[in-house]
């Protein structure tokens, strides 16, 4: 079976970097949505709680139910609203506000410029009056950056809008409301952390996607992917490997099959431009559903050490590489 290792010390290094940025563990809400970006929600929730984090963010209530004994406070970004004192639901529209079940606790989401989710800036007053009138428990006001990792003015435009939203909320007399807009990139780029929380995702898992022009902020990848040897054969020069026979042995060589493939969420890619594994050279020929072939006969190989090399190779982002890894691959915590 393929295995994913989760490096505890790298994870804690990353969390500490963000504690230094924000000033407190209490200001970190660890984003565990989508199986903790493919790392494994139970394992990452447990490590986060052992580190001392009290807040988490998930996409759906069923994810919250898996981890709610480990946290004091869980933000749920979408889906069904099931009131629970620990759960706070991101609300994206005035319609949603009007149809909330009694006792629901909410984080009102403001569209400060990403134009994906949230109420418009000119709907804030209407939203706050519905909240007052219906006595809805307003726990937070939130927004999301479209491009905090890129140089450019969009970030400042959104930040300014969010400050306006905060001022309006306070003017309307709301107390005990928290304000949060930052994701990993927002927290990395700010010089003095301004709000109450960072919703920390990709940075915790060890990836810094900032433009090179930003200051160095060293993060360490948490996840490695390993595969075990299934079989070994000696190939003669000219023999082919795998579907379509796209790899032709350039010499007599030893080739082994390892137990990871696109059925596990590994990319199939293009056999003519093979991915180079972390410790065993290029993948030979096509990736099968459950197997890859590599030169040599090591018992276990490291397919990727962190997801950056795969993200570059497959021209995507690390999020997509790690999220794709199936939940049934065993996860092992290492130091």
Ligand X SMILES: *Cc1c(COP(=O)(O)O)cnc(C)c1O
Q: Which is nearer to ligand X, 31 or 100 (CB)?
A: 31
Residue 242 touches ligand X, criterion: CB under 6 A: no
Least gap, CB of 162 to ligand X (angstroms): 13
From 21, 33, 109, 166, active-site residue: 33
Residue 186 DSSP one-character state: H
Distance between CA 49 and CA 67 in Å, rounded?
A: 10
Question: Residue 110 corresponds to which tokens in the numbers above?
Answer: 């403001």
Mask 189-228, x = binds ligand X (CB under 6 A)?
Answer: ----------xxxxx-------------------------
The DSSP result for 114-129, as a single string, is --SSSB-GGGHHHHHH
State which of positions 66-105 bind ligand X (CB under 6 A). 77
Q: Which is nearer to ligand X, 181 or 260 (CB)?
A: 181
Distance between CA 12 and CA 14 in Å, rounded?
A: 5
Residue 144 touches ligand X, criterion: CB under 6 A: yes
Collect all residues with Cβ–Cβ distance below 8 Å to 159 and sequence separation of at least 6.
Answer: 112, 181
Please choose, out of 157-165, 177-185, 227-235, 295-303, the segment that lies near ligand X by the rule CB under 6 A: 177-185
- Active-site residue flag, 25: no
Least gap, CB of 325 to ligand X (angstroms): 16
Least gap, CB of 79 to ligand X (angstroms): 13
Q: Which is nearer to ligand X, 142 or 284 (CB)?
A: 142
- Active-site residue flag, 33: yes
Residue 113 touches ligand X, criterion: CB under 6 A: no
Distance between CA 152 and CA 166 in Å, rounded?
A: 23
For residues 193-216, one letter each, b for 16 or more C-beta atoms within 10 angstroms of the residue's C-beta and e for the rest, the string is bebbbbbbbbbbbbbbbbeeeeee
Least gap, CB of 199 to ligand X (angstroms): 4
Least gap, CB of 43 to ligand X (angstroms): 18
Round the CA-based radius of gyration of the chain to a whole number and report it: 23
Distance between CA 45 and CA 43 in Å, rounded?
A: 6
Question: Residue 124 corresponds to which tokens in the numbers above?
Answer: 């804030």
Which residues contribute to the site for ligand X (CB under 6 A)?
31, 33, 77, 144, 183-185, 199-203
Catalytic residue numbers?
33, 243
């Amino acid at each position: 079976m393929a295995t994913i290792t989760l490096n505890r010390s790298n994870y804690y290094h990353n969390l500490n970097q963000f504690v230094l940025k924000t000033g407190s563990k209490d200001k970190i809400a660890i984003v565990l949505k989508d199986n903790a970006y493919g790392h494994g929600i139970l394992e990452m929730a447990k490590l986060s709680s052992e580190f001392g984090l009290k807040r988490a963010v998930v996409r759906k209530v069923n994810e919250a139910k898996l981890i709610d004994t480990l946290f004091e406070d869980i933000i749920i970004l979408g889906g069904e609203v099931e009131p629970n004192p620990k759960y706070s639901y991101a609300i994206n529209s005035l319609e949603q506000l009007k149809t909330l079940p009694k006792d629901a606790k909410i984080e009102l989401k403001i569209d400060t410029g990403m134009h994906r989710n949230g109420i418009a800036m000119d709907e804030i007053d209407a939203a706050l009056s519905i909240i007052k009138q219906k006595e809805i428990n307003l726990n937070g006001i939130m927004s999301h950056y479209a491009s905090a990792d890129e140089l450019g003015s969009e970030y400042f435009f959104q930040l300014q809008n969010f400050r306006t939203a905060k001022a309006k909320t306070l003017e309307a007399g709301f107390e005990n409301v928290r304000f949060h807009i930052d994701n990993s990139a927002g927290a990395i780029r700010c010089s003095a952390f301004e709000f109450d929380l960072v919703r920390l995702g990709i940075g915790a898992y060890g990836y810094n996607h900032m433009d090179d022009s930003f200051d160095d902020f060293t993060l360490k990848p948490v996840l490695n992917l390993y595969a075990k040897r299934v079989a070994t054969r000696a190939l003669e020069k000219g023999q082919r490997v795998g579907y379509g026979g796209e790899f032709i042995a350039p010499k007599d060589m030893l080739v082994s099959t390892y137990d990871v493939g696109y059925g596990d969420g590994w990319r199939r890619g293009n056999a003519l431009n093979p991915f180079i594994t972390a410790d065993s050279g290029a993948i030979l020929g096509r990736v099968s559903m459950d197997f890859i072939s590599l030169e040599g006969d090591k018992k276990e190989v490291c397919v990727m050490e962190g997801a950056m090399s795969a993200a570059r190779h497959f021209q995507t982002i690390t999020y997509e590489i790690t999220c794709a890894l199936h939940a049934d691959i065993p996860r092992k915590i290492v130091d």
